[in-house]
Structure 1
Amino acid sequence: MTTYEKNPLPRKELENLIIDRDHHCISIYLPMDKKGKEQNKHLAQARLKKCIRQIREQLLDRQINKKEIADFLQPIEQLVDATGLWRNPSDGLAIFLDREDGLRYYKIPISFEERAYVMGHYYLLPLLPLYHNDGLYYLLELSQDHVKLYEASRYHFKDMHLEDVAPRQLEEAVGFDFEQNNLQFRSGQSAHGATFHGQGAGKEDFKVEMLEYFRMLDKGVQKLISDPKAPLVLSCAQRLYALYAEVNTHNNLHKKYLTGDPEFTKDYKKHQNSWQLVEGYFKKSQFDKMKKFNEFYHTQKTSYELNTIIQAALNGKVDTLFLEKGSDVFGIYNKEDRKVTLNGKHEIFNASLMNLTAIRTFDQGGQVYILSSEEMPVKESPMNAIFRY
């Protein structure tokens, strides 16, 4: 059984990374290799070496001597030979280093674009997709002789051990007579060998027994579910979904369900299939925000002007920020006079203003969505925003 953390980078960890550290915060993002063939070629390690060279050059440009750079980068250098790190990969690796807190790194289920960044703050924009369109849901697997309950989210899948608080199969709920009754129902024979003529009655008995079984399961499910508003997804046959719906007391039984035999499906596949089923439910808030942007497009409640959005984010005015995936905006922000100067490319003292805008919005409770260029409300700009006032 694979257990996924609710979020591979808890929000508190991200908040710690948001705090400014010193003049030389190092951020490195890499895709990792999951296939043995690529792992054997050490491609991910080669990418890390390349990023280290880029970081070294950026530090030299800042007039830091080679000995100091070598000492500073040693913790990252040691990761190159950390065999366990590369043999147990996720999709991506995020590495952070500063003088105050030293080295931190996280394996993240996002295949990052390769990036090496040095500034007086961390580059955290690639991590923000971890915190939007995600949410808690539950997956309940049902059959006559198999039951499982999982707590899940986009990056989290955990067995809740329903069998500890509810019967594991129908026989436990209705007694040993179930086997005889079920055999009789399937074969048309009574327990004494006589032909069973009441087919309708047999089906009705089966329904009564299943409803009793599901009532007991429902009580167990309610004991284990921590969020009464989270969607409950069923994995079962169609007739069992209808029966469970009759006795269900959970506030949010998902209308769509998974079919097939869940007992012989691998956990990663259960997680993948169930997330695909509920993803649209959690994306609703994003769609609602995009609709709101379009409604207020010709008012001062929205903007796609970079300077306006950056200033608004720094003043805590941005409610929702839409960013174009793969784009960036560089420049200088003067904290004293709150002046923003845009530049065309990343230079020594130019910071990513898209990163700054996103982090300030996120840190002040706003929503940040990173979208493809086709999804952006106003496609001519890499930043769109809805303002709080």
Structure 2
Amino acid sequence: MAKDRSGGFHPSKGKPSGGRPEGLGVSTAAPEEIEQFLDRTDEYLQDDETLDPAVPLRHPNRPPGGGGNGNGKPNLRETDTTIEMAMAPGVDTEPERLPDILDKDLFAELAAFRSECCVTIYLPTHQSGVEVNEKHDAILLKNTLKDLSAKLADAGIETARIEQLLTPAYALLQQSRFWGRMEKGLAMFIADGYFKYVKMRVAPQYVAVCKKRFYMTPLVPVLTCNTYFYLLVISKQKCKLFRADAFGMEPVHVPDLPDDMMAVKRLSDKDASTFRVGTGSGTGGANFHGMAGGNPEHKDNIAVYFEAVDDVIFREVLHNENAPLLLAGVEYLIPIYRAASDYHNICPEALTGSHEHDEIHDLYARARGIMQPYFDQPLDKALTIYANQSATPLSSSIAADIIPAAYYGRLSHLFVRKGATIHGQFDETNASLELHGSEEESSDDLLDMAVIKTLTQGGEAYLLPPERMPAASDIAAVFRY
């Protein structure tokens, strides 16, 4: 696909059927198929002689790594700057970034959108490494847009309309700052005069689809989750509090938190045990009597310090909380803090070791591993409900039973296999269900519709790998009645 002098992109000419498509099927790719995208010989060229501007030219003296924080890693938490649409003249649809974590109202808004041509793209992306430096994600998007352009042209969409539809996405290819600040995935929702995207904190399967509505199921893992916990890194020098959820962790500012043991007045006033002894010569260091590691008085001083820390954290943050508190620190400090704390929900497990200097993403990864069973509780409870109802009419793994029930709000819990689709049509007026063995021109993805209907009518939906499904099926559900 080449650009004209105005900067607009022109897809290859299609077959002029003059009609409108009912829909273009979902395209999914396994990792090895995605690699094939990157092997194309034409992906680096606009035409036979012109190198594509999206291809990076790296100076031989440039150090490895990307991003802007000086350590070779992108600044992932910084907000995207406004997309410079001037780089693609003629574009009048500005891309809008949606929150990384969607609430159900925003999910419902996207699901309700209808147009003759709704393009949905899900890409697995990279946060760091050679893939960022060499812009693999941008190249994958470019090849995806080329394929979509060809399919739209073959389906009879006019060239000018395709250009207007996809040019905002092509404009993103020029945004190095945008691609240097990726999460684990990218979701794009494109229609006439409409362009929204989500930087996903979980990696989706590759999907590119054009229908009369957006494809929503891969967004289920990034819907708002009310499950969270606190992490407290303890040490004699500094205690730090963090709040973590299913997707990440951030520091919690706690006013008046003591900086170290000597900042606690009750310790600094204990002259007999903390008087300072100089060397007399002006050289060397100083020590504090009674502060040697391992003696009982030293542990008593640590306990007094931890009591002060716990009092401040409880007063400022935890007094109305019931979330678990995970402790991280050197092993001998953990029981001292437990004994000193009044908080009722300290996790029985702890993250042992010296962690006060850990990078926040490394610390979160370790803490998240310990807390995984806590995050699995809602799913485990839902699977237990399904198992308990498995011998009754209140559960099913048959699509013909589940899909109509989803449309009419009868599902309390829905389980969907990752990557699965169920083609067919459902007429709500006369409750007529027609399942198609393969995708047809008039097919809708009924599994995706079941997810949308369940979530927007107060039910729960889970996107699971095959081994976690409660039945050997692409779909399973628990009925309300």
What is the alpha-carbon distance in structure 1 between the residues aligned to residue 365 and residue 301 of structure 2? Answer: 32
On the 8 A contact 2:76/2:183 being kept in 1, the answer is no
- 1:166 is aligned to 2:250: no
On the 8 A contact 2:76/2:181 being kept in 1, the answer is no
Any gaps of 5 or more consecutive residues in structure 2? 1-74, 80-98, 277-286
Any gaps of 5 or more consecutive residues in structure 1? 185-192
* 1:218 corresponding residue in structure 2: 310
What is the alpha-carbon distance in structure 1 between the residues aligned to residue 349 and residue 190 of structure 2? Answer: 45
* 1:109 corresponding residue in structure 2: 201
On the 8 A contact 1:313/1:360 being kept in 2, the answer is yes
What is the alpha-carbon distance in structure 1 between the residues aligned to residue 419 and residue 464 of structure 2? Answer: 9
> What is the aligned counterpart of 1:319 among 403, 409, 412?
412
State the AA in 2 paired with 1:172. Answer: A
State the AA in 2 paired with 1:267. Answer: I
* 1:383 corresponding residue in structure 2: 475
* 2:453 corresponding residue in structure 1: 360
The equivalences for 1:220-369 within 5 A come to 220-222=312-314, 223-225=316-318, 228-369=321-462
Relative to structure 1, the CA distance from residue 183 to residue 277 in structure 2 (aligned partners, 3 Å threshold; closer, same or farther) is: farther
The equivalences for 1:132-171 within 5 A come to 135-162=227-254, 164-171=255-262
On the 8 A contact 2:118/2:214 being kept in 1, the answer is yes
Relative to structure 1, the CA distance from residue 42 to residue 204 in structure 2 (aligned partners, 3 Å threshold; closer, same or farther) is: closer
Greater percentage in helix:
1
CA-based RMSD: 2.9
Deviation at 1:138, TM superposition (A): 0.6
What is the alpha-carbon distance in structure 1 between the residues aligned to residue 168 and residue 323 of structure 2? Answer: 42
On the 8 A contact 2:407/2:428 being kept in 1, the answer is no
1:260-281 deviations in whole A, cap 9, x for unaligned?
A: 1111211111111111111101
State the AA in 2 paired with 1:166. Answer: L
On the 8 A contact 1:54/1:116 being kept in 2, the answer is no
SS in 2 for 1:323: strand
Does 9-18 or 107-116 show the bigger shift? Answer: 9-18
* 1:25 corresponding residue in structure 2: 118
Deviation at 1:291, TM superposition (A): 1.7
Does 30-39 or 215-224 show the bigger shift? Answer: 30-39
What is the alpha-carbon distance in structure 2 between the residues aligned to residue 26 and residue 139 of structure 1? Answer: 41
What is the alpha-carbon distance in structure 2 between the residues aligned to residue 205 and residue 22 of structure 1? Answer: 73
Does 38-47 or 80-89 show the bigger shift? Answer: 38-47
Taking only the aligned residue pairs, the percentage that are identical comes to 24
> What is the aligned counterpart of 2:167 among 49, 67, 74?
74
What is the alpha-carbon distance in structure 2 between the residues aligned to residue 289 and residue 213 of structure 1? Answer: 43
TM-score (norm 1): 0.87
Relative to structure 1, the CA distance from residue 72 to residue 211 in structure 2 (aligned partners, 3 Å threshold; closer, same or farther) is: same
* 2:30 corresponding residue in structure 1: none
Deviation at 1:122, TM superposition (A): 1.2
TM-score (norm 2): 0.71
1:74-128 deviations in whole A, cap 9, x for unaligned?
A: 111212222212122211111111235x111121122222211112221111110
1:38-75 deviations in whole A, cap 9, x for unaligned?
A: 23443222221232233334434553312112112211
What is the alpha-carbon distance in structure 2 between the residues aligned to residue 265 and residue 2 of structure 1? Answer: 17
* 1:190 corresponding residue in structure 2: none
Count, aligned residues: 374
On the 8 A contact 2:331/2:353 being kept in 1, the answer is no
Relative to structure 1, the CA distance from residue 346 to residue 48 in structure 2 (aligned partners, 3 Å threshold; closer, same or farther) is: farther
